Amino acid sequence: MQQSGPSCGDRPVKPVHSAQRRTLVKAALAALAAFAMAPAWLRAQAGNDGATIMHARDASITRLPPNAEAQKSFDSAAARAAKPGRWRTRMPLPFPRSEMAWAAAWNGRMHVVGGYGNLRFDRAYHHIYDAAKNAWTEAAPLPRGASHIGVAIGNGVLYAVGGFIDQIRLPHQDVYAFDIAKGEWRTVAPLPRARAAASVIALDGKIHAIAGASGRDIKKSVDWHEVYDPAADKWEPRAPLPDARDHAGAVALNGRIHVIGGGLDGSSRSSDLHQVYDLQADAWETRAPLPTPRGGHAAAVLRERIFIMGGESTGKLHGQNEGYDVKTDRWESYAPLPTPRHGAGAATIGDAIYFAGGAPVTGTAFLTSVNEAFALN
C-alpha cells in the first residue's frame, strides 16, 4: 500500500521539505546560541514552570548545596486543620530574588520591592504581580536600592521603610512613598532611627514601623515602635514591642496589629512570641505562641485567619503553614509550602495568598523566582 509519508497512528504526517528544514535548523541554532550566551544561573533549571535559582555572589554556582533537602522542615506541633487547603504553582518572578522580606497588595496586584538579585544586595527592583492575569510587570524602581525593606500600602500609596544597603548590614532610615495611580515615588519623612527587617503595617490611615534590626555591622534587634502620619509627614513614638526582635511577621486584623515570631539579633535565634497591639490603649498583650518558632516568614490574613508560612531557624528551612483563629486563640496546621523558602514577598489577593521568590536554603547564599499560591478551597 502506497503511503504519502511517515505516519503517527492513523494520521499521516506531512514531510518536511528542504526549505522548511533549513528554516528549522537556523531557528534551532539561534536558540542554542542564545541559551549558551545566557548567564549560568539562568540556564540552571529548578522546575516550577521555569523558575530558576541563583547564587547570591557567584554566577558559576548553579545548584543548591547537598544539604538543601535535609534542611527542609514540615512537621508542626499544631493540630491538623479539617480543611488544610491547597497550593498552586503560579508564574515565577522575572528572575530570582530574595530578602525582599515582605510584599504588599492593592487592587488585585502584589508589589515586591528591593532585595537581593543579580549578584547585588541592594537592588531597587519593583515588580508587580497581577493575580487575575498571572503575570508580572516592572514598575518604577525604588529611589534607593536595599534589602529587608518594610512595606505597607495605605490609601493607594506603597510605603518602603528602611532596609539594609549591604548584605545584612548598614541599615538606613530613608522612607519612600509610591503613588500607585501615578506610578511615581517621592521621599517622605525618614525614620527617626535607621533600621531594617522591621514589621510595617498600614492601619487607620497611618503607617506603623515595629521592631527590626539596627547597628552598622553588628545587628541588634530593637523594640522600637514608631508611627508615620502622612497628613503631617511626621513620625511619632508609640508603646514599644515588649520583646525586641527582627524578621517578624505582622498583620492588621480587626483593628489590631499582630506581631508573630521573628529572630533575635539578625535571626540567629528564633522566636515563637505572638504579641498584639491595641491602638486605643497604646498597649500590647500576649496571645497563643506560634507553634513553629522561626523568622523571615510570611504573614498574611485569609478568611479572618492569620497565616504564617515559610521562614528559617537554625539549620532549618520551614515549609510549615500555620493558621491562627483570633476568636479561639488557637493555631492549626495547614497544607505546607511546597517549596520552603524564607525572605520572600507574600500578600493576600482575593481568596489566596501569593508567596514569591525568597531563599531556597537557610542563610543568604541562594535566591529563587518560585511563586506559589495558597487557597482554602
DSSP string, 310-362: --EETTEEE--EEEEETTTTEEEEEPPPSS--BS-EEEEETTEEEEE--BSSS
CATH code of the domain in which 241 resides = 2.120.10.80
Can you give the residue range of the structural domain that contains 264? Answer: 35-375
Closest to 265 measured CA to CA, from 211, 320, 201, 344: 211
Number of domains in the chain: 1
Residue with grid cell 504526517, as numbered in its chain: 13
Q: Is residue 17 part of a domain?
A: no
Per the domain annotation, does 3 fall within a domain?
no
Give the predicted TM-score (pTM) of the model: 0.87
For residue 251, is it within any domain? yes
Supply the pLDDT for residue 167: 86
Mean pLDDT of 197-226: 95
Residue 24, domain member (yes or no):
no
Q: Please give the backbone phi and psi of residue 158, each rounded to the nearest 5 degrees, phi first.
A: -90, 125
Give 40-71 pLDDT, tens digit per residue: 333 333 333 456 899 999 999 989 999 999 99
Task: Please give the average per-residue pLDDT across 206-217, as a whole number.
Answer: 94
Q: Is residue 16 part of a domain?
A: no
Helix (H) or strand (E) holding 79: strand 79-80
- Grouping H, G, I as helix, E, B as strand and the rest as coil, residue 303 is coil
What's the burial of 68, exposed, middle or buried (CB within 10 Å: 0-12/13-18/19+)?
middle
Instruction: Say if strands 150-154 and 256-260 run parallel, antiparallel, or are unpaired.
Output: unpaired
Q: Which residues contact 122 (CB under 8 A, 6 or more apart)?
A: 114, 145, 146, 147, 164, 165, 166
Predicted confidence (pLDDT) per residue in 86-141, tens digit: 999 999 999 999 998 789 999 999 999 999 999 999 999 999 999 999 999 999 99
> At 194, which helix (H) or strand (E)?
none
298 is a domain residue: yes
pLDDT band at 294; cut points 50, 70, 90: very high
Domain membership of residue 23 (yes or no) is no
Residue at 343: amino acid letter: G
